[in-house]
Structure 1
C-alpha cells in the first residue's frame, strides 16, 4: 500500500465510499489476488487519516460484494475478484504460489527497511552505500560520450576478456596473482554468493561466518537450503581457534568472511589473525569465501593484503565489487578462484542471466585502465574521512553517556553499542515513525538487542546530524521508560 492515492476530502462522495472504491479497484484489477491479507483496520485508518469506523463501513461493503471475508486466526482475506465472479473456474491462488517458492522471504524488519528506503524524506542512518552526491555521474557521462563505439551484445561466459585482464592487473596491487581465466565477472557481490550457493554446495550444508555478519541480512544461502553458524569476533577479527571443532560438529562446508572493514562492525582483521585463520582452514580443509568489497576504502593507511594474497592452494574464492566505490547501479563485481570452479560458476551464470551488462563492464574497464579510478578513490576516501570525523564528534557530544562505539579506519560503518537494556524493536519503530531509518543489530545477529549499524556514507551531513541528535533523544526516552 505504498502508492500515492489520497482521499478527496472536498468531494461530495463520502470518505468510506472513496476508500471502498479504492480497495475494490486493487482487488478487481488483480493487484490484491485471492488469498491476499487485507491490512488491519488500525493500519488502514492511519494510512487514510480517518476514524476506524470509516474503515469498518468500507470493508463491510467489500464483504457484502463477496470480495473479502474475515477468517478466524487469519485476518481478513481476499476471497474473490472479477475473474472468479464471472468465470466458473476461479483464478489461480497466487498467494499459495508465493508461499511455496524456493526463496525465503526477507524478515519483516528487512522488508520494512527496503520499503522505507524508497521514501526520499526518510533520514537513512544505516544505509550501506555512497550518497548520490559522492557518485561520479558526470565523469561516467564523459566516459560514454568520448567512446567511438560500444558493444551492445552478450559478453563471453566469464565476462569481458578485456575487463578480466584489467582486473588481473588491478588485484596484483593487492598481492593477488590471478590470470584472466580464473576471474569471472558477476552482477555484484550478492550474485557471486548466489552462484556459489547453487553451484558448489549441497542442501543442508553449514556456512561458518563471523557474528555479527552481513550474510544474516540476506537469505541467499538459506534459500538454497544451507544453514548459517556464527563464530564470535574480537577486535582482531574472527576468533579462529574454535573453527575446526565447529566444522566437525556442524558439518561446516565453507567459511564466509569480510576481513577488511567488516560489515557491520567496521573491524579490520589483523595480519596475524589472517595468517591464523588461513592456517586453521588449510588444516581442516575448509574453503573460504573472502568478501573484499570495502578494501579500497581505507583512510590514513592501507589495510593488510587480502587473505587471497596468501593463498597458495586455491582455497579461497575472492569477491570484489565496484558497488561501494563507483556505484551500486553498475552491478559489476568479480570472483577470483581456481579455474575449474570459475568454469563451473560461469556455466551457471550463463543459465541465469547470459552475462553481466556489457555497458557496465565497458565502463569499469575504462575507469580502471585510465587511472580515473585511483583519482576517484582518493576523493572518496577524503570525503568519507571527513564524514567519519563529523560522526564521531556528534557521538562524543550526544551519545557519550548512552553508548560506546568503534572508530573505523575505513569503510562505511560504526558499530554503536547502547549501554542500557532497551527494546531494539521499539527503538526501530519509534525512529521510523519520526522519519529516521535505522539498521538494528538483530538484522546481522538475531540475538543482538543492543547494537545499531551507523553508516556515514549515505545521508547528507545536515540530515545525518539532525537524525543522530533525535536518535539520542529517543534512546534517552526509552532508557527512562525501562
Structure 2
C-alpha cells in the first residue's frame, strides 16, 4: 500500500490524542467496548465529504470520530464485512481504511480479538499518520479552490477538461426560447432518460454501424456516473477485470472502490496488447474487459482495425463482456478505423459508454450507456438509487446539441491540433530529452521523462505553481513512474508551464 502524506487541515495522531485525556501506557488500559456496525456508520456519517478515495475518506472520518470522542479509544471496530455492509461499500474499502489506521499507530488487529483503536505508547515517538492527500481524478477538480486564491500564479495542467464551445451558448438560447411549460406539467423524473434524447443517441449509435433503439440507452450524468453504475451493478470483491495500463483514472478508481482484481495489459502504438489479453483471458477467465479503443485516455492512440477484430474474436469465443469507453472518441483529430469495436462483439456481451461532456462542455454532465435491454434495466435500477435521474434541463440542452456533433468535432480538432503544436514546441525547446508519441486524438500528451520520478516532480511543481498528473495515477498497479500527462486543450500558458517544469526538473 502506498504511504500518503497528510494535507493541511488533517490533525496528526499526537494532536488528536493530546487534545483529549492523558496518553495511557498501552492500549489495554483503555476500556474495551464493541462498536456495532450501526454505531460505526452513525459515528462517521458524512464520511464522503473527505477528500481522496473511499478508503481514505473512511479513515479520515474515523479520525474525526476519535477527536470528537464519538468512538472512544479501546473500542473494537466492527468486522470488515459488517462495516462494509453498513456503509454500502466494498469490504476491500474497509480493509484498506483499517490498514491506514494501523499504519498510523491507532489500530491493532489480533486474531480472535478483532481490531481495536488504541493510544500509541507515550514512550514512543508520536506516530506519523498516513496522509490522506487525494491522488484521485476528483482531486483535479476539488483542489482548485485553493489554487483560486493565487490568480495568475497557478498553471493547472492536472485535467484535460476543455472550455465550452460557443455552440453550447447558442443551443442554450434556442432551448430557452422554446420554453418548458409542457415539461413542467409532469414531475420531471425520467429515470432512463428523456425519450427524445435517447432517440437521438440511438440514432447516433446506429449511424456508426451499431443498430440501436431508445430502450437500449440509459442517460447518465456524464461518463463517470456510467462507470459508477456499471461498477456497482457488476463488480464485487475480487472480481477479475482486465484493464489497460495506463488507463482512464476515473475508471480505475471506480473499479478499485468495488474491490475489483485488476489484470493489466500494456497500451502499444496501435492500441491494447491483444497477445497479453489472449494470455490473461485464457488463464484467469475474467467476466469483464475495459478498453478505450478510440482516442485512448491518456495516450491518445487509436486501436487498429486488426486489434479490434482480435478483441472481438476473443470476446465472442471466451464469453467475457467488453466495456468500451468511447467518452473521448469525439476528440479524434486523426480518423479512427471504420470498424467500431462495439459492433464487432456479440451484442449480448458488449456495453458502450458515451459522453457529450468532453466534446461540448464539461458542465453539461450528460453521458450514456448503450447495451442489451436486460442490462440497461439493471443499470437503471442502480441509477435510480443514486440520483433518480439526470437533470432534465441538461438533457434538453444535450438534445439540442447532438445534431451539431460533426461541426463540434471539427472545431475541437482544429483547436486541439493548435494546442498540441504549442506544447510540442515548448517541450522541444525546454525539455528536449523528454519523449512522446504524437496522439491520434484526445486532449493530453503522454510524455516520458527519463530517470524522473514524476510523482516527486509533481510535488515540487505544485510548490512552484504548476499542477500536472503523474503517470502512476493512470496505472492500477502504480506503474508508469517516468510518465506524465500534459493537457493541451487550453493554449496560451503552455510554454510558461513547460519552462517552469524544466527548471524544477533540473534541480530535482
Q: Do they fold alike, i.e. is TM over 0.5?
A: yes
| TM-aligned CA deviation for residue 247 of structure 1 | 2.5
Are residues 225 and 464 of structure 1, via their aligned partners in 2, closer, same or farther at CA, if it must alter by over 3 Å? same
Are residues 157 and 69 of structure 1, via their aligned partners in 2, closer, same or farther at CA, if it must alter by over 3 Å? same
Are residues 217 and 283 of structure 1, via their aligned partners in 2, closer, same or farther at CA, if it must alter by over 3 Å? closer
Q: Deviations over 1:346-401 (max 9, x none)?
A: 12212222111111111111112xx334333322221112111111222222222x
**Unaligned residue ranges in structure 1 (runs of 5+):** 1-31, 42-58, 85-89
Name the residue aligned to 2:309: 275
Name the residue aligned to 2:226: 192
Q: For 1:229, what is the secondary structure of its paired residue?
A: strand
Are residues 343 and 477 of structure 1, via their aligned partners in 2, closer, same or farther at CA, if it must alter by over 3 Å? same
Q: Deviations over 1:245-280 (max 9, x none)?
A: 312433412100000111111111011111111111
Are residues 115 and 416 of structure 1, via their aligned partners in 2, closer, same or farther at CA, if it must alter by over 3 Å? same
Counting only pairs closer than 5 Å after superposition, residues 329-408 of structure 1 correspond to structure 2 as 329-368=363-402, 371-400=403-432, 402-408=433-439
Q: Deviations over 1:106-125 (max 9, x none)?
A: 87433764543332343122
Q: Deviations over 1:66-98 (max 9, x none)?
A: 489799999xx77887xx7xxxxx546799899
Name the residue aligned to 2:325: 291
**CA distance, structure 2, for counterparts of residue 71 and residue 312 of structure 1:** 64
Name the residue aligned to 2:489: 457
**CA distance, structure 2, for counterparts of residue 173 and residue 295 of structure 1:** 15
**CA distance, structure 1, for counterparts of residue 387 and residue 290 of structure 2:** 25
**Unaligned residue ranges in structure 2 (runs of 5+):** 1-7, 28-58, 98-131
Counting only pairs closer than 5 Å after superposition, residues 3-402 of structure 1 correspond to structure 2 as 37-39=10-12, 66=20, 91=70, 101=87, 102=89, 104=93, 108-110=134-136, 113-118=140-145, 119-120=147-148, 121=151, 122-131=154-163, 134=165, 136=167, 138-149=169-180, 151=183, 153-215=187-249, 218-368=252-402, 371-400=403-432, 402=433
Q: For 1:296, what is the secondary structure of its paired residue?
A: helix
**CA distance, structure 1, for counterparts of residue 223 and residue 169 of structure 2:** 25
Q: Deviations over 1:406-460 (max 9, x none)?
A: 11222112110112x12222211110001100110011121221001111114xx
Establish whether residue 415 from structure 1 lines up as the match of residue 441 from structure 2.
no
CA contact (8 A) 1:293 1:320 kept: yes
Q: Deviations over 1:44-86 (max 9, x none)?
A: xxxxxxxxxxxxxxx79x95x7489799999xx77887xx7xx
Name the residue aligned to 1:437: 467
CA contact (8 A) 1:206 1:253 kept: yes
Is the radius of gyration larger for structure 1 or structure 2?
1
| TM-aligned CA deviation for residue 341 of structure 1 | 0.8
CA contact (8 A) 1:201 1:253 kept: no
Name the residue aligned to 1:476: 506
**CA distance, structure 2, for counterparts of residue 78 and residue 245 of structure 1:** 46
- Tell me how large the CA RMSD over aligned residues is: 3.4
**CA distance, structure 2, for counterparts of residue 237 and residue 166 of structure 1:** 30
**CA distance, structure 2, for counterparts of residue 79 and residue 203 of structure 1:** 27
CA contact (8 A) 1:217 1:444 kept: no
* Higher mean C-alpha displacement, 237-246 vs 177-186: 237-246
Q: Deviations over 1:125-177 (max 9, x none)?
A: 24121035x46553244133212225353343321111111111112232221
Q: For 1:231, what is the secondary structure of its paired residue?
A: strand
Q: For 1:438, what is the secondary structure of its paired residue?
A: strand
Question: Could you tell me the TM-score, scaled by structure 1's length?
Answer: 0.76
